[in-house]
């Protein structure tokens, strides 16, 4: 192990993936060329893309009507690509505001139609997931952010609604079992649980497309990407390759059932320490706590810097909180070994005793 990497994204990747990718940088599968040197329309790369697409579909157990795309522009591009493809200018879309990322999605959607923000946890600094809301019948879709990377909240169940449900799952994709078929469209930047920065996975139920009158630029039209098997233009070959390796690794670990078990264990370990250690305090309400991004503060703010320095000495990196929520944030993505969480918990115990 190198260091205990709690970065929020880009973040820790499985060693096995890094090792294979480093080999493929020199010679990809005995082709005598680097993965960066082969054409994207050659057989070896088409096989990579197809495996990445089919593994994502298999891991999420998506029905036949779904297509998987690997696009560019980050999840941030999806903030506008979703409404551009699904919302005509006179239409309304419902959004639930659970923090910074939902807000960015809301801002972009407003460029394309009416946005009804049907619930928000802003008044309590996004410390919970809103439970009271009604989705207007005329809404073309409901958009949620399943995990709030900055504030550390997470939807524990899928909201029931009659309109197509769309989710930004950038920071908890493939971390737990859920009925992914309840979502008409899912998007996620790859750089947390799905690989490296540079590609964004989109899973879309085909039947929701083609229902608007707006003309869509080709590169932003999901239907064209589907027709072209996610190769409308040159895809980000290396990022897709890393994603494919990461999904292979995940399947090898036992898929979502196994990773969920492990993720539950890791989160329980850390939250248990936060709840029992008199020096630390969790930021969000217990029932909405994220198992991916654990946010907490220290009761004596004057010790914050010292704790960060202490962690650094222990090879614990990436736990400084986002400037908007302060304190600390430990991201426990799929590839983070439980041993890293154990080291973190020990560091908290030791530091607290030293300061008692
Ligand atoms: N949504 C969520 C939930 C995120 O955590 C992030 C990035 N951390 C984004 C969207 C933006 O992703 P990108 O930087 O890939 O555009």
Q: What is the residue-level pLDDT of the chain in tens, covering all 356 positions?
A: 689 999 999 999 999 999 999 999 999 999 999 999 999 999 999 999 999 999 999 999 999 999 999 999 999 999 999 999 999 999 999 999 999 999 999 999 999 999 999 999 999 999 999 999 999 999 999 999 999 999 999 999 999 999 999 999 999 999 999 999 999 999 999 999 999 999 999 999 999 999 999 999 999 999 999 999 999 999 999 999 999 999 999 999 999 999 999 999 999 999 999 999 999 999 999 999 999 999 999 999 999 999 999 999 999 999 999 988 889 999 999 999 999 999 999 999 999 999 88
How many C-beta neighbours within 10 Å does residue 271 have? 17
* Marked catalytic residue, from 97, 155, 168, 288: 168
Contact (CB, 8 A) for 53 and 68: yes
For the question of residue 168 being annotated catalytic, the response is yes
* pLDDT value at residue 2: 85
Full strand arrangement of the beta sheet holding 328-331? 280-282, 293-298, 328-331
Q: What is the token pair recorded at 294?
A: 């654990």
106 CA to centre of ligand 1 in angstroms: 14
* pLDDT value at residue 69: 98
* pLDDT value at residue 269: 98
353 CA to centre of ligand 1 in angstroms: 37
**Binding site for pyridoxal 5'-phosphate: residue ranges?**
75-76, 101, 149, 168, 191, 233-234
**SS3 assignment, position 355:** helix
Domains of the chain with bracketed CATH: 15-252 (3.40.640.10), 255-355 (3.90.1150.10)
Which residue puts its alpha carbon closest to atom 6 of ligand 1? 170
158 secondary structure, DSSP code: P
156 CA to centre of ligand 1 in angstroms: 20
**SS3 assignment, position 225:** helix
HSE of 111, CA atoms in CB hemisphere, 13 A: 11
Residue of 1, 13, 2, 345 whose CA lies nearest to 190:
13
Residue of 75, 92, 10, 38 whose CA lies nearest to 241:
38
311 CA to centre of ligand 1 in angstroms: 26
**284 vs 159: CA distance, rounded Å:** 20
Q: What is the token pair recorded at 56?
A: 């994502």
Which residue puts its alpha carbon closest to atom 2 of ligand 1? 170
Which residue puts its alpha carbon closest to atom 9 of ligand 1? 75
Q: What is the token pair recorded at 356?
A: 């008692």
**2 vs 15: CA distance, rounded Å:** 10
**293 vs 271: CA distance, rounded Å:** 11
* pLDDT value at residue 1: 62
Residue 145 near ligand 1, beta carbon < 6 Å: yes
Task: Spell out the residues 6+ positions from residue 214 whose beta carbon is closer than 8 angstroms to its own.
Answer: 84, 88, 89, 112
Residue 75 near ligand 1, beta carbon < 6 Å: yes
76 CA to centre of ligand 1 in angstroms: 6
Three-state DSSP string of 226-267: HHCCCCCCCCCHHHHHHHHHHHHHHHHCCHHHHHHHHHHHHH
**47 vs 32: CA distance, rounded Å:** 17
* pLDDT value at residue 324: 87
Which residue puts its alpha carbon closest to atom 10 of ligand 1? 75
Q: Which atom of ligand 1 is nearest to the CA of 150?
A: 5
Out of 10, 73, 74, give the residue to mutate to test ligand 1, the one with the largest number of ligand atoms within 8 Å of its CB. Answer: 74
Out of 11, 100, 101, 151, give the residue to mutate to test ligand 1, the one with the largest number of ligand atoms within 8 Å of its CB. Answer: 101
Torsion on CA atoms 236, 240, 242, 244, rounded to nearest 10 = -170
Question: How much is the pTM?
Answer: 0.98
For the question of residue 192 being annotated catalytic, the response is yes
Q: What is the token pair recorded at 331?
A: 């991201």
Residue of 262, 263, 251 whose CA lies nearest to 294:
263
Burial class (CB in 10 A: 0-12, 13-18, 19+), 18: middle
For the question of residue 155 being annotated catalytic, the response is no
């Amino acid at each position: 192990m190198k260091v205990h990497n709690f970065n929020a994204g880009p973040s820790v990747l499985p060693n096995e993936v890094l090792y294979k990718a480093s080999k493929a940088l020199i010679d990809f599968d005995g082709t005598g060329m680097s993965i960066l040197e082969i054409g994207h329309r050659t057989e070896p790369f088409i096989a990579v893309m197809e495996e990445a697409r089919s593994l994502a579909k298999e891991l999420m157990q998506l029905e036949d009507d779904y297509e998987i795309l690997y696009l560019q522009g980050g999840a941030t591009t999806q903030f506008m690509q979703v409404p551009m493809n699904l919302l005509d200018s006179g239409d309304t879309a419902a959004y639930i505001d659970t923090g910074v990322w939902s807000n960015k999605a809301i801002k972009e959607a407003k460029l394309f139609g009416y946005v009804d923000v049907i619930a928000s946890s802003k008044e309590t600094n996004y410390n919970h997931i809103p439970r009271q809301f009604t989705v207007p019948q005329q809404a073309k879709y409901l958009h949620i952010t399943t995990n709030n990377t900055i504030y550390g909240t997470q939807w524990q169940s899928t909201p029931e609604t009659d309109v197509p449900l769309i989710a930004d799952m950038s920071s908890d994709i493939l971390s737990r079992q859920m009925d992914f078929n309840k979502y008409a469209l899912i998007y996620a930047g790859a750089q947390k649980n799905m690989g490296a920065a540079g590609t964004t996975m989109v899973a879309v139920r085909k039947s929701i497309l083609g229902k608007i009158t707006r003309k869509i630029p080709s590169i932003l039209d999901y239907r064209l990407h589907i027709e072209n098997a996610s190769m409308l233009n040159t895809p980000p070959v290396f990022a897709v390759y890393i994603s494919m390796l990461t999904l292979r690794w995940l399947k090898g670990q036992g898929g979502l059932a196994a990773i969920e078990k492990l993720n539950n264990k890791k989160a329980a370990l850390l939250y248990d320490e936060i709840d029992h250690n008199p020096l630390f305090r969790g930021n969000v309400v217990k029932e909405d706590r994220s198992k991916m991004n654990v946010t907490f503060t220290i009761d004596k703010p004057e010790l914050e810097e010292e704790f960060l320095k202490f962690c650094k000495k222990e090879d614990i990196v990436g736990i400084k909180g986002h400037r908007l929520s302060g304190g600390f944030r430990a991201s426990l993505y799929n590839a983070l070994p439980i041993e890293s969480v154990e080291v973190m918990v020990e560091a908290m115990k030791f530091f607290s005793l030293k300061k008692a």
